[in-house]
Amino acid sequence: MDNIIRSEQELVRRGKLDKIREFCNPYPDKYDITNSIKEAREIPDGAKDIAIAGRIVFLRKMGKLSFLRIRDIEASIQVSFQLDLLGEDNYKFFKSCIDVGDFIGVKGEIVTTQTGEKTLRAHSFEFLGKALRPLPEKFHGLADQEMKYRNRYVDLIMNEDARERFLFRSKLIWEIRSFLNNNGYIEIETPILNNKASGAMAKPFVTHHNALDIDLYLRIAPETYLKRAIVGGFTKVYEFARCFRNEGMDTTHLQDFTMLEGYGAYLNYRDNMKFLREMIQSVVMNLFGKLEITINGEVIDISGEWDSISMRDLILKYCPIDIYECDTKEKLLDKIEELNLEIDSETPLLELGYGNLVDQLYKKTARCHIVEPVFLIEHPISLSPLARANDDNKNITDRFQLVINGAEIINAYSELVDPIEQEKRLIQQAELKSNGDEEAMMMDRDYISAMEYGMPPISGWGIGIDRLVQILTDAPNIKDCVMFPLMKPEDE
């Protein structure tokens, strides 16, 4: 039994279905268009038999002449309905049964009205789908943010900024993919279900495989599998990978997100600092026509070289703690306590390893101050268990992160390719994990076995696509950049 309470408008619309069925099929299987709405707007006046289709988003029914506006994701156009062109029966059906929100196909001549409005003067139309719910009169503002995330389909119908942002996201991914393909990278796929949660320091999601009767982890990163492909003979690989990390939520973090990772043999991290800067600059130029982005209303020039700073110097700039002097977990904890620093961490500070403790300190004191693009380099080795140690200082790694507006956009390094050293580090990580550090990495014997077949010099990188879209579109919340973000279900 249907216990759903429906509004009066919904009941009226449902009542119109019977009238529509007497006239035509309210849900036909197709409609042949000659052009998209965007294309139709560019067609010169006088072109005839132009067929387009879309959703009605505006409707003004009058005596013998009515106007409507139809829209798809890219554009909208005005359509005129005239009694003498459509015929009395068709015009009567239109006026009595068609509402804002319905889908319609129209065919006719392109004209420009006296007010300068590009218009399709309809000679015929076909009904293509009934909207049983009316579109909201208002669907904007902070009060409706949660509704936008829950009902993104309505947000896309009602809000131009939402349509533009998600079209931008698609174009951004296309531009990145084109740049990588043109530079010799090959796109491959790696598994989402993993026996080991590896490739990053993060708390994983756990699931169960019924057929095999084993627990598995949702991928936290594709890294170790992409590097297995390098072992197998690929030279440059990349993947747009959906990743999952069972951690906190805020305006720049989600638990499920899109990560782009790429790996190149015979390269080091300095090569990739240059390559990725050029990639982002190329993509921004192609999308915006200039090397400028807007952050919190301020125009940022991203042309030329970008500054680099060590993690030690950046922390010292905003906090009187030298991580080279406080080079153990105990020393660093004592200094944090001495300065009365309050550091929020899902894992208690006492259970974190030294590297993760440094990372929490950096995030608390320094990261929020970075606005323009900056390469953060020289991370502690215990924070980077898959990265190559620096030749001159074995306590730091050949690694960089690109930070813009307080958000980490890229994480990259020269890869550790020595299987003996890698095994040693993963054993250390496993010990940290057994002592309560949930973000520490697991031992992965299969990955060690792959490394033992031999690896060339490698440099790899990961880019958070959702966060990159957030930066480039100046969005206040990362959920604005994910079409269907996960939300806690409402009570039925």
Residue 377 burial by Cβ neighbours in a 10 Å radius (0-12, 13-18, 19+): buried
Higher pLDDT among residues 346 and 17, named by residue: 17
Cα dihedral across residues 170, 176, 179, 182: positive or negative = negative
Which CATH number applies to 158-481?
3.30.930.10
**Contact predicate 206/217, CB 8 Å:** yes
Report the pLDDT value the prediction gives residue 138, as an integer from 0 to 100: 65
Which CATH number applies to 8-129?
2.40.50.140
Tell me: pLDDT of 205 over 70.
yes
**Contact predicate 459/268, CB 8 Å:** yes
Report the pLDDT value the prediction gives residue 356, as an integer from 0 to 100: 87
Q: Which two tokens stand for residue 219?
A: 């991928």
Report the pLDDT value the prediction gives residue 142, as an integer from 0 to 100: 46
DSSP lists the bridge partners of residue 256 as: 244
CA-wise closest residue to 290 among 206, 282, 14, 396:
282
Round to whole Å and give the CA distance between 485 and 492.
19
CA-wise closest residue to 78 among 49, 108, 47, 33:
108
Higher pLDDT among residues 250 and 478, named by residue: 478
Kindly report, residue by residue over 111-135, the tens digit of the pLDDT: 999 999 999 999 999 999 999 999 9
DSSP secondary structure string for all residues of 299-347: EEE--S--EEEEHHHHHHHHSS--TTTS-SHHHHHHHHHHTT-----SS
The torsion of the CA quartet 280, 281, 286, 289, rounded to 10 degrees, works out to 140
Kindly report the average pLDDT of the chain as a whole number.
92
Percentage of the chain modeled with pLDDT above 70 = 98
Tell me: pLDDT of 372 over 60.
yes
- Domain range summary for the chain, segments of one domain joined by +: 8-129, 158-481
Give this prediction's pTM.
Answer: 0.89
- CA dist 458 to 198, 240, 387, 413, Å? 18, 19, 10, 9
Percentage of the chain modeled with pLDDT above 90 = 76
